[in-house]
Amino acid sequence: MAKSRIAARLARRWRASPQAQVRAIVRTVADLDEAAGILELRGLNVTRRYNLLPALAVSGTARDVLSLCDEDWITSVEEDQQVHVVAAPEANNSSIIKSERNVDVQDGRKAAPAAR
Q: What residues does each domain of the chain span?
A: 8-79
Low-confidence ranges of the chain (pLDDT < 50): 1-2, 96-111
Torsion of CA 28, 33, 38, 43, to 10 degrees: 100
Rounded to two decimals, the pTM is 0.69
User: What integer pLDDT is reported at residue 83 of this predicted model?
Assistant: 82
8-79: what CATH class? Answer: alpha beta
> Of all helices (H) and strands (E), which one includes residue 64?
helix 62-66
* Residue pair 74/28 in contact by the 8 Å Cβ criterion: yes
Cα–Cα distance measured from residue 68 to residue 24, given in angstroms and rounded to the nearest whole number: 11
- Tens digits of residue pLDDT in 74-106: 999 999 998 888 877 665 555 544 444 444 444
